Amino acid sequence: MVNNLRSPEIIKLANQRSILRVEELAKYFNVSVQTIRKDLNKLCSDGQLERVHGGAIIPSQIENIEYEQRKNINFSGKKAIGRECAKEIPNNICLFMGIGTSTETAARLLLGHKNLLIVTNNLNIANILKKNIQSEVVVTGGNLRKSDGALIGQPVLETVQNFKFDLAIIGCSALDNEGNMLDFDTQEILVNQSIISQAKKTYLVADHTKFLRRAPIKIASLSSVDCFFTDNKLEQPLLDKCASWNTNVKYSK
C-alpha cells in the first residue's frame, strides 16, 4: 500500500483516537516504523496532522472538531469517566449538566437516580434524561447550535442566574499544563463561567485527550473545580497545583 492510499486511513484513525502512535500504525499497516514516520511527516507538513512525542494528533484549530468525531474519540475512556462521576452524584439535588460528550456519558448513568432537578443547555442530555421518570428536567432557552444540540447565548445565562445549583457537571474542549480549562466559543465560555458561579460544587469531566488539544479562550482554572474526573494520571506539577487548590482528582477504573 503506497502512501497516497494509507493517508486517508491514517486521517480516519486520527479522528477516532486520541493519538496516533508510530509503532501501532506500523503494525496496523504492516510496514516499517520508518515508513510510518515518513507518512506522518508528510501529513504534518500538509497541515492535516500535528506531530507530538511518539506520534501525531489532529491539529489544534480555532474551531472545534465535528460533534460526531468528538463523540467517538476515546469513547471507552469517556464512558468510564462518566461512570465514576455518576457514582458521586447524590439523589435529591438541583443539578446542572453542561455541553460536551463526556457530560453526556455521565447523564446516561443517572437514569436510576431519584428526585433530581436537572437543568441543562444540552438537548442530547435532555433526550437521555427524559427517560428518568423520577426526576425533572429543565431545558434552558438559547440559540440552538445544530452541530451538537447545544443551547448558547443570553437566554441560557438568564436561566442559569435563576437557579442555585447544588452541583454542576461541566466539560471543556482543552486543558493546558497550567490547569486552565479552555474552549472555542465565547458564548459557551460565558455560560460555563456563570454556571460555576451559581453552583455550590462543580465537577469537571474531561479525558486525557483534552491535554493533547489547544483552544484559544480560557473558561476558568481547575482551582474553580471541586473534583476533576479523568482517565489518565496527571503530571506531578499539575497534581501538586490541584492539591494546593483543594481540587480533588479522581481517575476512572
Can you give the pLDDT at residue 14? 79
CATH for 67-251, options being 3.30.420.10, 3.20.20.220, 3.40.50.1360, 3.10.20.590: 3.40.50.1360
φ/ψ of 152, rounded to 5, equals -135, 170
At residue 60 the predicted structure's pLDDT band, cuts being 50, 70 and 90, is low
Q: Name, in order, each residue with C-beta under 8 angstroms of 162's C-beta and a sequence gap of 6 or more.
A: none
Name the segment(s) of the chain with CATH classification 3.40.50.1360.
Answer: 67-251
Is the pLDDT at 246 greater than 90, yes or no? yes
Q: Do residues 172 and 155 make contact, with C-beta atoms less than 8 angstroms apart?
A: no
Apex CA 150: angle with CA 143 and CA 215, to 5°?
A: 105
CATH T-level fold of 3-57 = Arc Repressor Mutant, subunit A (1.10.10)
Q: How far is CA 220 from the centre of its chain?
A: 15
239 class by beta-carbon count within 10 Å (0-12 exposed, 13-18 middle, 19+ buried): middle
Q: Do residues 184 and 217 make contact, with C-beta atoms less than 8 angstroms apart?
A: yes
Q: Name, in order, each residue with C-beta under 8 angstroms of 78's C-beta and a sequence gap of 6 or more.
A: 101, 102, 105, 205, 207, 231
Rg of the chain, C-alpha, whole Å: 19
- Distance of CA 88 to CAs 184, 228, 253, Å? 28, 12, 14
* Cα gap 232→156, rounded to integer Å: 32
Name the segment(s) of the chain with CATH classification 1.10.10.
Answer: 3-57
Can you give the pLDDT at residue 62? 42
Q: What predicted TM-score, i.e. pTM, was given to this entire model? A: 0.76
From 1-5, 191-195, 198-202, the region with the lowest mean pLDDT = 1-5
Size of the chain in residues: 253
